[in-house]
Amino acid sequence: MLFNYKYSGHTQVYSNATAAGISFAPDIYREPTFFAGKLRKKIAFREAISALHDVVVSDLRFKPKDKTAYKEWAAQQESIWLAEAMGQYDAAAADARIKALQVELTDVQKEKDRVMAPFYKARKTYFDYLYQKDRDAWFVLDPVISVHPDEIFFECFSQDESAYGKLSASYNVFKEVNEFKCGTTNIDYSAALYNEFQKIRDYKETSFTVDPGGFSVQTTREEMFREVKIDLPDSWVRGFLQVSSAMTLPAATFDLHPMDVYNFCLWLRRFKEKKGPRSIRFVLEPGKPVKAIFEPWNKEITCARSIYTGPQRREIRIWGRRRLLILERLIPVAKKFTVHLTGNGLPSFYVADLGDMQFTLGLSGWTANDWSRCGQFDLMAPRAAIDDVSKIKIYNDLQQNWMGRPDEIAARTGLTRAAVLAALGICTQAGKVIYDLHTGYYRLRELSREPLPLDQLRFSNPKEESATRLADEGKVTFAEKLVPGVGLQLEGTIPAHRRSYHPVIVIDGDERLSTGHCDCSDYIANKLHKGPCEHMLALRMVFEKKKQHNG
């Protein structure tokens, strides 16, 4: 998917003995979005923006060792090992011949190294250059900055696309806010900026600017503008669309003291597992301290300062735990960490309370299970039918107010809460709205200047297509039952070629698929870790059609 950016120069950072400044170059192809102010809370901002950098460069995918050199050495040694194994054949003569050949081979290898040295040096320089260019490309892709009436926030993805980071800074973080214009834009951001951020000090006056000058009409000095064409991976965009859907899933929520997070990171730094299971098992009992059990050692860390206040006992396991080390830099400046666990092997979110800033770290079910390919969480979002006029009305309300909770938007537009949630779900999946886990607001955030090709982005597997086919065949039957305090339970029967499937789903008061199960192989193998199976989706589609017809 090709995206075009145009920047008025490069992002600049300067620093001297008494002052520092950060001036981001925005994409001038987009609607003017700018901000200018001076940092009040410099150290906390430095640590938070550095943690965001740690998200961007994070890549914990398995990388097999390069055994090319070893195989070459083994091939050369094969004749030597063979001769040593046949020692009964005049061992003294064989040893003498081997030593002579080894000396000759050593001389040949030295001569080869001397001749090839310039080539090896040039190759290393070339690959170092490519690595730096590739890293900068990732930085250009990832940072998306949004200016809202109450805060400014950055969003990014890790290189392995399994971790999502969001830094929100209220205007109390700044002083002398000179001018700003709300909106969303991409910013020019390079790897070299990280080192410059480390120079921010509390005693230096530090200015922060999303440069408004780039949007001025330029009739001369056109050479100052820099156009960038980026072939953006579909998975990167799809990941952004999935995160907000995952944030709205029901979750077990509790607070952790910064020292508890420190203890987690300390254990992960001191010990590295050599075999599975590689999980953290959270034991949550109402009114008792949170317990975290690190497997496979079964090391139990009791968080004495963190009491679980949920209504029932739960045990939830998460994988890909080494990604939690991203939170290390935030421990000294954080007041608390709020954890949202959506279920075993499902996404988890960690919100660091930095006073007037919040840092949100979203992790997929495990490292190899990135947001884009395996997590179809948008399929669990509210699916109530809504007409185009209502959708436009809700979107226009967000354009005017920039944010709102579902009840507030419903009150302003005169629509029902279910209709508002359905429209917000559609806007979220289209990249126009983001859910703020910390405040509960839905915020306007246009991910791209041009409409996203949803047919290309939404379906990374054929589940919903198969579900639509099953629903259209008219063979799905179901019975519904209202479970007090839980939601509407649907029990379905779907005949197939050789057998019948019996999906069961629960739809809560917000028209969200909160839980379910099925007797198909997809659910048995994956549960809900990769989203609902096609039979559960078909059951829901048939129910929605019936409800719409009766309504």
At 270 the pLDDT is 93
393 DSSP 8-state letter: H
The CATH number given to whatever domain includes residue 219 is 3.70.10.10
> Is the model more confident about 92 or about 167?
167
Which strands, in side-by-side order, build the sheet including 163-170? 183-186, 144-147, 151-157, 163-170, 357-363, 348-353, 336-341, 252-256
pLDDT above 90 as % of the chain: 28
311 and 445 share one domain: no
Decide if 116 is inside a domain.
Answer: no
Decide if 363 is inside a domain.
Answer: yes
354 and 390 share one domain: no
174 within 8 A of 185, measured Cβ to Cβ: no
505 and 480 share one domain: yes
Q: pLDDT tens for residues 509-550? A: 766 777 899 999 989 988 887 778 889 988 988 887 787 666
415 and 448 share one domain: yes
Decide if 89 is inside a domain.
Answer: no
Domain stops at, among 379, 413, 434: 379
In this prediction, residue 309 has a pLDDT band, given cuts at 50, 70 and 90, of very high
Considering 25-39, 115-129, 397-411, 512-526, the range whose residues carry the highest mean pLDDT is 397-411
Q: How many structural domains are present in the chain? A: 3
Q: pLDDT tens for residues 228-245? A: 445 555 666 677 777 877
496 and 369 share one domain: no
DSSP per-residue string spanning 193-241:
HHHHHTT--TTSEEEEEE-GGGGS--SS-GGGEEEEEEE--HHHHHHHH
Decide if 65 is inside a domain.
Answer: no
CB atoms < 10 A from the CB of 99, how many?
Answer: 10
353 and 222 share one domain: yes
At 191 the pLDDT is 64
Distance (Å, whole) CA 312 – CA 285: 7
Q: Is the pLDDT of residue 70 over 60?
A: yes
367 and 392 share one domain: no
At 244 the pLDDT is 78
Q: Strand, helix or coil at 447? A: coil
Decide if 159 is inside a domain.
Answer: yes
Burial 320-331 (b: 16+ CB within 10 A, else e): bbbbbebbbbbb
At 236 the pLDDT is 65
In this prediction, residue 218 has a pLDDT band, given cuts at 50, 70 and 90, of very low
238 and 346 share one domain: yes
Decide if 396 is inside a domain.
Answer: yes
Decide if 82 is inside a domain.
Answer: no
Domain span at residue 504 reads 461-550
165 and 250 share one domain: yes
Nearest in space to 58 (alpha carbons), one of 323, 373, 239: 323
In this prediction, residue 189 has a pLDDT band, given cuts at 50, 70 and 90, of low
At 458 the pLDDT is 45
Decide if 359 is inside a domain.
Answer: yes
At 460 the pLDDT is 46
Q: How many CA atoms lie within 13 A of 33 on its CB side?
A: 25
pTM of the model: 0.72
285 within 8 A of 327, measured Cβ to Cβ: no
At 527 the pLDDT is 85
Domain stops at, among 457, 475, 497: 457
Q: Is the pLDDT of residue 496 over 80?
A: yes
Q: pLDDT tens for residues 5-35? A: 555 656 677 777 788 887 777 766 677 788 8
Rounded to an integer, the average pLDDT of 117-132 is 72
417 and 311 share one domain: no
The pair of structure tokens assigned to 236 is: 């990167």
467 and 444 share one domain: no
The CATH number given to whatever domain includes residue 401 is 1.10.10.10
Domain stops at, among 379, 405, 424: 379
323 and 441 share one domain: no
